[in-house]
Structure 1
Amino acid sequence: MSDAVDRNCGINETNDEDERELRSGAPGSGHPTGNSVRPKKLILHIDLNNTILVSDAVTKQGTVAALDYFLSTVTWGHMSKGKWEWISEAPSLSPPNKDAVSYYSKFGRVAGFTTAGPGRKFRGVLEEHLAQLRWPADLPADEEFSVRGEDGNLYHWILPSFFQLLQDLASQGREFAILFRTFGTDLPRVLAVVRRALTQGDHPLFPDLPALKLSVSDLPGRIRCSAKGTVLTRGQEKLSSRDGDRAIYQYLSAVEGLGGFQDHFDWWARNTYSILGGKPLWVDPFDASVQHIFIDDNIRQTDEDTIVHPKVFLEPEGSQTRTASTSELYDLCLVQNDLLQAISDSGYFTKRIQSCQENYESNLQQGTS
């Protein structure tokens, strides 16, 4: 499913001289250097299922089944003499060696992975994180913020670490916007629940969210891809990459508050679940004011099996882009979500975004030196 992470691979590293100049910032591009750099506006593209939700309406997986499935994607082994042998002693996003494959990539979805299947050795990990995900017993059930699991227990529907991210970014004085990006059908409900938390202050763990004064557009948009290009629609708004990618990038860079788009699953499937059919992400390394970051559990270092299609602009203010490899932008603009950490660490998303910001600036500054 995934190659080993190379965290030193960034947007200023390439064997092509033109691309190296591109990613370092060309003369006259307005790219700032030194300590006077103003913090960029953050546009955070955030997946839903197995990123901030531990459930999936499309596959009808509840909390327990969704977490059980996720464990099958981050535990590793290989076939030996016709039998599956484990290499992993603990879950990890990256394989422990080059010969390891995830259980999911070998066998697909297996119901009861940690109960009836060979994943029983990871049952304790499942139970530990279910306990951390449980809705506090001293709080009344809420039909929107909490959800009843298959085991009868009550769990958080949207991870607390997501709401913590909003608080952290606001407390840091950061300018940011959130765009939910999903293939699934949960988007309208997520937007409605987030709106309630941000406007009414009804989330019992985050009652001060209305003070952030973040707007929520509960009108879901759509992104549809084809061989002719990409079309983005939301309400009466419509943009097409047939007129160049720049207009879509500028539109997404200018969004405020929180909103979302349903991406094009069929296009991903027709492209064999590879990078070329993934959710498009436009990246402009010449832009001194904006950084786009995509967080998704299905981002993989293997471009033949990843869910985001990064499109990097070739020149300042230009409309032409190239497809960047996942490894090139990993931990700069692409974050492979670790669902276990997102459950157990309330500051997980904040830390990952901070790391991306630092890595992004470091790579650009290396290119200008």
Structure 2
Amino acid sequence: MREFPVLRLAVRPLNFQLRSDRLVKPNLSEKERKGQLGVDVTPGRIRCSGRGVVLSRAQQRVSSRHGDRGLYQYLSSVRGLGGFQDHFDWWASNTFSVRGGKPLWIDPFDRRVQHIFIDDNIRQNDEDTIVQPKVFLEPDGSETRTACTSELYDVALVQTDLLTAISDRGYFTRRVHICLENYQRNLQPNEDRVGL
């Protein structure tokens, strides 16, 4: 069985300034501003089935049994870097399409957290892509819709150009900046949330 690691980057807050090719995040710790994020080496797992999705890491376990919001909140609370083993067999049994891809939850109303999914197997053809973007339909709701990959390309999804990524140290930083800017333009209005 072939397994792929999952890398998700949660960027907070989204009030940022670009200065000298540097992302300034004023509400983060000095270590986070310098890029010295903690690393959680405990491997997580993503398991998908017709009944839903389960994320687990060590003693933590969250499922989509009561909707996708709990999974989104769990991933939004993770600090630093970590990984989740995806469910390759589920993706293969769904003909390597968006239907069986690695789930990525996106809340277009959330101004505090942006999830960015980076992988070289992201394709704009939904019949041949490794990610299943799930977009929340309303603020704080639990219902989602599966979005087209092309809808979130360079907003929350980055297809890695492997040769450029290897040869250009600033590649990922630039791609994240592009996503941050595009996400800001695509945020949905949300008058119900106070203080955002």
Same fold (TM over 0.5): yes
Which interval holds the TM-score relative to the shorter structure? 0.7 to 0.9
2:25 is the counterpart of 1:173? yes
CA–CA distance in structure 1, aligned partners of residues 161 and 154 of structure 2? 13
Aligned with residue 40 of structure 1, among 11, 14, 26 = 14
C-alpha displacement at 1:329, in angstroms? 0.4
Q: TM-score, normalised by structure 2?
A: 0.80
CA–CA distance in structure 2, aligned partners of residues 238 and 219 of structure 1? 13
2:157 is the counterpart of 1:305? no
CA–CA distance in structure 1, aligned partners of residues 90 and 62 of structure 2? 18
C-alpha displacement at 1:40, in angstroms? 2.1
CA–CA distance in structure 2, aligned partners of residues 303 and 285 of structure 1? 20
Matched with 2:156 is: 333
CA–CA distance in structure 1, aligned partners of residues 162 and 27 of structure 2? 26
CA–CA distance in structure 2, aligned partners of residues 247 and 41 of structure 1? 25
Poorly superposed stretches of 4+, deviation over 6 Å: none
When Rg is computed on C-alpha atoms for both structures, the one with the higher figure is 1
2:127 is the counterpart of 1:275? no
Instruction: Please tell me the residue identity of whatever aligns with 2:58.
Output: G
CA–CA distance in structure 2, aligned partners of residues 172 and 303 of structure 1? 34
CA–CA distance in structure 2, aligned partners of residues 300 and 332 of structure 1? 14
Instruction: Please tell me the residue identity of whatever aligns with 1:330.
Output: Y
CA–CA distance in structure 1, aligned partners of residues 102 and 15 of structure 2? 21
C-alpha displacement at 1:363, in angstroms? 2.7
Matches of residues 24-63 of structure 1 in structure 2 within 5 Å? Answer: 39-40=13-14
Q: Deviations over 1:171-220 (max 9, x none)?
A: 633778xxxxxxxxxxxxxxxxxxxxxxxxxxxxxxx99x7542211110
Percent sequence identity is: 66
Gapped runs of 5+ residues in structure 2?
Answer: 1-11, 191-196
Distance change (3 Å), C-alpha of 1:268 and 1:334:
same
CA–CA distance in structure 2, aligned partners of residues 214 and 235 of structure 1? 20
Query: Would you say the 8 A contact 1:41–1:291 is kept in 2?
Result: no
CA–CA distance in structure 1, aligned partners of residues 57 and 74 of structure 2? 11
Q: Deviations over 1:87-139 (max 9, x none)?
A: xxxxxxxxxxxxxxxxxxxxxxxxxxxxxxxxxxxxxxxxxxxxxxxxxxxxx
Query: Would you say the 8 A contact 1:253–1:290 is kept in 2?
Result: yes
Matched with 1:110 is: none
Matched with 1:232 is: 55
Query: Would you say the 8 A contact 2:13–2:112 is kept in 1?
Result: yes
Aligned with residue 364 of structure 1, among 178, 187, 194 = 187
Q: Deviations over 1:225-258 (max 9, x none)?
A: 0000000110110011012100110010011111
Distance change (3 Å), C-alpha of 1:175 and 1:221:
farther
How many residue pairs were aligned?
172
Gapped runs of 5+ residues in structure 1?
Answer: 1-37, 43-167, 177-207
- Give the SS at the match of 1:249: helix
CA–CA distance in structure 2, aligned partners of residues 293 and 273 of structure 1? 21
Instruction: Please tell me the residue identity of whatever aligns with 1:173.
Output: K
Matches of residues 86-165 of structure 1 in structure 2 within 5 Å? Answer: none
- Give the SS at the match of 1:311: strand
Aligned with residue 259 of structure 1, among 48, 70, 82 = 82
Query: Would you say the 8 A contact 2:37–2:80 is kept in 1?
Result: yes
Distance change (3 Å), C-alpha of 1:359 and 1:213:
closer
- Give the SS at the match of 2:81: strand
Aligned with residue 176 of structure 2, among 353, 356, 365 = 353
Distance change (3 Å), C-alpha of 1:212 and 1:351:
closer
- Give the SS at the match of 2:65: helix
Higher strand share: 2
Distance change (3 Å), C-alpha of 1:340 and 1:280:
same
Distance change (3 Å), C-alpha of 1:229 and 1:174:
farther
Q: Considering only aligned residues, what root-mean-square deviation do their CA atoms show, in Å?
A: 2.6
Query: Would you say the 8 A contact 1:214–1:258 is kept in 2?
Result: yes
- Give the SS at the match of 2:54: strand
Distance change (3 Å), C-alpha of 1:288 and 1:248:
same
